[in-house]
Amino acid sequence: MMPKEYNIEGKVVFITGAGRGIGKGIAQVLAEAGADIALNALTEKYVVPAARDIAETSGRRVAPILADVTQADGVRLAIDQVFQTFGRIDVLINNLGDAIRAPLVKLPDRKSETASDEALKKIIDLNMTAAILCTRAVGPHMLERRSGKIINISSYTAGRGGKDVVLYTLAKAAVVGFTRAQALEWAPYNIQINSIAPGFFPEPLNTDEETFKRMTEYIAKTTPLGRPGRLREVGLLALYLASAASDYMTGQTMYLDGGLSL
């Protein structure tokens, strides 16, 4: 029998960028643990079938929430939809993020082009701005109840950097700092804010079969534990952070990266 502190049955969890990948993996585990899930994405392509599949396998209520959470208006739309559907938000998971591999300045011995101004802004918005806006939006509700959990998804690069991912690293390191500062500010109100810094968690949906094979082989060679992460593993750590088991932890970043940050 599961320890009672891990029981999240009936909790409402809002996850951004959750149509596939890590967000979907987290949603699956938390739904299995008894939570109702609001899955956010910009379009319905992945999130609608994901919501249907998770609802069927878990027996919980799972609703797709279509909105651009990198914009304040989009966040308000998303939060309104969640409250209309579920009536509250107990756990916010700021999962939305993406990377563009390009140097900040063109290197003399490299053919790769630098990222455009639009791409640079997009990386900051996806990985940092969305987390700030969503936290600000759910804050009043959690503060009023003096209860809540927020989980920010950072990256192992936040602690060690990464070639060709300068802006991504900057944004994910900012998420770690944001986690610490906001956790301290809201600690007196019984709101715990922590972050997870994943390593490589590839998903076949994101690429073709041959590229996926090469990617997993590369990850196995470069990761100390010798394999890629499994999406459920992020979900299992998120379950701890979303439950009462982690009530005495706040402002922390947990590296789930197979040893890449060592």
Please write the tens of the pLDDT for every residue from 157-180.
Answer: 998 877 788 889 999 999 999 999
For the stretch 49-61, pLDDT in tens is 999 999 999 999 9
Residue 1 lies in a domain: no
Q: Is residue 262 part of a domain?
A: no
Tell how strand 62-66 and strand 91-94 pair up: unpaired
Give 136's pLDDT tier (boundaries 50, 70, 90).
Answer: very high
Number of domains comprising the chain: 1
Using alpha carbons, select from 148, 128, 153, 125 the residue that is nearest to residue 18: 153
- Which helix (DSSP H) or strand (DSSP E) does residue 152 occupy? strand 148-153
**Annotated catalytic residue 218:** no
pLDDT over 70, % of the chain: 99
In a domain, 2, yes or no: no
Q: How does the average pLDDT of the chain come out, rounded?
A: 94
Full-model pTM: 0.96
Which of the residues 46, 168, 240, 248 is marked catalytic? Answer: 168
Q: What is the CATH number of the domain that holds 187?
A: 3.40.50.720
How many Å apart are CA 63 and CA 114, to the nearest integer?
Answer: 38
Q: Is residue 15 in some structural domain?
A: yes
Domain that holds residue 151: 7-256
Q: How confident is the model at residue 205 (pLDDT cuts 50, 70, 90)?
A: low
Q: How confident is the model at residue 109 (pLDDT cuts 50, 70, 90)?
A: confident
